[in-house]
Structure formats: structure tokens, C-alpha cells
Structure 1
């Protein structure tokens, strides 16, 4: 049984961690192929996957459970540009496996070649069809995740899904099949943590959600019927703006937490080596 499972899993289990977009069994994998221009603000936190979204020239938003290596000086990729992390700020109410799964990463320098995504502000998300995008392994809804990130070799995929429910903190998706599914129905998986639920509006990209966790008793990650929760961006826009606009890091620290949220199997004394091994190049 699976319930409120982080879409990341234990860092020592890279095979299960790194699987990403899971697709329909009856649609060609090539139809899910994506290129960076499909979502230019996409950030990649580690060489095994895990994502974020550029929402300001110097700020990336991601899931709080994904920031364990986002220490000052750690490298991440935004678009095709490698940049260094200045600091991280997670929501003060977040606890591993729960709601409020959102964090901000401040970059040491501004990204000038990419237009940041716009944060969605309205409360009418239910029924909207959005896109997911990410790298890593893959699989289909009949079996869930089956291919690891090494075999996938960093191939980028995108998939559609419909928001079936909203709560104060999350937007909710279900992996449907057959006639109930979108043409390119899919879900995120382990290793897609922090990635966007987005849609394009004219020449702008709107960020509605942040990949967080599954919420299903009887389904594994990526299986038909699984329910996925994405942090609802519209509910946290004020907190995001307060962190970004704060006059000093000291003020930011008062309205956030700097916890790395180490997962099971992550030993503090081994984190330097781990973070070095998964740093983007």
C-alpha cells in the first residue's frame, strides 16, 4: 500500500528515486518526448533528476523535500545554464511527507536569458488540464515505473493531466486510462519531485503546482489509479513574495526554515560526498 509517499524516496535507493514521467500504455513513448523549449524555466537540481521552476531571475521554486543538497555553492541547472546556489528557504510549517511542501532557492547570480514563469494567483484550478515535464526513467500505467534514470539517459518527457480536486494546500491529480484519460495522460514519479504543473497562456508560462507526493492506499507510483498531490502555488504566492522581497537574509530566515529535510538513509556526515556525486555538471 502507498500513502502520502514523497515522490523522491530514500537517497540510497537511486533506482527507485530517479524514475520520472510515467505514460499511457497505449500511446507511443515518442509522443511524450519533450525539448527544453517546451518549458524554458525548468530547473534541474541533481544529475539524477529532481526539478524546480525559475519564477524570478534569481529565484527557483521547488519542493521542500528536495532541498537536502541545496547548500551555498551547490550547482544546479536552469535551462542550459549552470548556476550556484546562494541559499535555500523552505516553508516553516513543512514536515517530511506532509503538506506545505514548497521551498525557494536563491541563486548567486541572475538568469538573464530565460523568462521566469508566472505564479498562478486565481482559485479556479479545478478542471484545468496542465502539463508535467521532467527527466529520469519511465514506465506505463499498467506496471508503473520500470526504467531507471541510467537507462533513460536523461531523456526529457512531458505529459498532461487534469486537476480533479483542490485543497487549501494542494492540487490533486489521478492517473486515468482509456477514454477517461487525456490524449497524453501521465503522472510524475520518483525523481520528478519539485517539477512543475504548468500551462502556456499566450507567450507566458503559468505555474500552478509543484510535484510533491502520492496519496493512494492501493497504488504504486505511476500505476493507473494513483492520486498525486502537487503543492498549490496560488496558496503560497504571498509567502513566496515575502521571501523574495525581504530586505535581508535574516528576515527571510525568520519566515522560513533552513532545514535540509534529510530522508531516511541520509547521514549528515556523508552528505558532502553525496551532494558532490549528484551535482549537475
Structure 2
């Protein structure tokens, strides 16, 4: 039992996000005092993003059980979940992938579509949804990413004991590649880093990555997983040099439109 609990926590360190920070910047500099209203907390853990007055997008691995009838807080009100739509190319890893060499699990993560849509029973009119980025030139853009999971720094990695604090943080990074399903960035050491350089880790999957154009935010990605090497038993999330993968929202415009149009 303890072994499978260990695998569970390893898996959600790999597939998740939090705000792991530069070690040489005061942690409070990353704290977000005014939380964008389009950021939605999921029923169990993780985040979604309001993209329509009645629809929330998230990563599929935040759907831990049947959420129909559960409530999401949008602005100051609670709205029941009417339906959940998981991308047909999303699958759960089998137990054999959650032990030993990480390479097969990493290939599995990369091959699937980690995205889901949630429909609310009624429209929320007190919160403005975020627009989705519809272009295909994400590479080189600076993204701002939000999350309230475990935190830590690039020298020591994330600290699971901070996960329960649920403090909303933000960090920035630069998209290094944008291909197919994924946006990719790396957590650079201070010499090559942005002032609020950071990395997602455990406890806050589905956190929004946004870009700003003329001051207007656009949803460009959803935090999904970290690239790990070696044995899963020795994995430490959030270290400098770690590569992160985010769901590339622009790649799913057709699927999103087809679901919203039902």
C-alpha cells in the first residue's frame, strides 16, 4: 500500500503544476494578490479556465472521478457541473509505467491529449471569460503561469509540505518550442532567467498560461507535466534545468469548437 501511495505522489509530481521559484528572488515576489476571475479551482485539486460563460477548460488528468453535480466557484457564485468532455485521445497510464525507468512514462505523456471541457448548468454573467490564443507562433513568447500548489526553488525542487498552503503564485517563462499538442519551456538558472522565472510542479494541474497583447490576456497553455529522467523513485520535480510541457490550446481549437457547439 505504501509503495502505491509513493507512486501516486510521484505521478502527480510529474503530471501537475505549482510555482517553483528562483532561489535568489524573495518568494513573496511571486505571490499573486489579485487573482484573475477566469481562474477556476477544480473540485478535488488543480485548476480550470473560464473560456465561455458556461464552459471551463482544464487538463484531463484533473478529472479524478465523476464531477457531474459538483460545484465550481465562478466569481462569487457556485455553478453545478452539467457535463464533462474528455478528449478522445486521453488515456490513463497503466501501473507498469509508474515504476522503474521514466522514459516509457514520458513517451506516454507526450503521445496523449491531456485536455477536457466542463459545461456548467447555467451561464455565469459576473465574470469575463478569457480569450484563447488562436495563432500558431507561440515559440519565443513570454508566458505568465498561475498556480497554487506546492512551492519550492530551483536548487532544492518543490516541497510537497507546502501544497496544503494553497497560495496563488505566478511565474514567467519563455516558450522554447510549440509543436503538435505541446508548448515546451525550461527552468533556467538565474544567470539566464527572467526576473520571475519559474516552473510548474505538483498540485495545480490545469493552471493557465497566458500572454498579454495590448494588455489583454489570452490563454495559450495549460500546465500538464514535467520531463523526468532515470528512475521514478529518485525523481525530484522543479529543479533548474527541468523541461515542462503545457497543453497547446491553439492545437485544440477545432475540438473545443466542436464540443461547445453541441
TM range (shorter): 0.7 to 0.9
* 1:226 alignment partner, one of 242, 245, 251: 242
Number of matched pairs: 235
Secondary structure (helix, strand or coil) at the match of 1:235 reads helix
**How is 1:1-281 mapped onto 2 (pairs within 5 angstroms)?**
10=8, 20-37=18-35, 39-46=36-43, 49-96=45-92, 97=109, 98-149=111-162, 152=165, 154-217=166-229, 220-246=236-262
Alpha-carbon offset, residue 145 of structure 1: 0.9
Cα pair distance change 1:81/1:149, threshold 3 Å: farther
Partner of 1:4: none
Structure 1 residue 174, shift from structure 2 partner: 0.6
Match of 2:3 in 1: none
CA 1:110 to 1:23, structure 2 compared with 1: closer, same or farther past 3 Å?
same
Structure 2 unaligned residues grouped into runs of 5+: 1-6, 93-108
Give the equivalent residue in structure 2 for 1:254.
none
Q: What TM-score, normalized to structure 2?
A: 0.82
- Partner secondary structure for residue 46 of structure 2: strand
**In 1, Cα distance between the equivalents of 2:13 and 2:207?**
19
In the alignment, structure 1 segments of 5+ residues that lack a partner are 1-8, 247-281
SS state of the match for residue 253, structure 2?
Answer: helix
Q: Distance in 2 between matches of 1:223 and 1:79?
A: 34
Relative to the length of structure 1, the TM-score reads 0.77
- Hey, what's the Cα distance between the residues in 1 that align with 2:48 and 2:252? 15
> Alpha carbon RMSD of aligned pairs, Å?
2.4
The residue that corresponds to 2:96 in the other structure is: none
SS in 2 for 1:197: strand
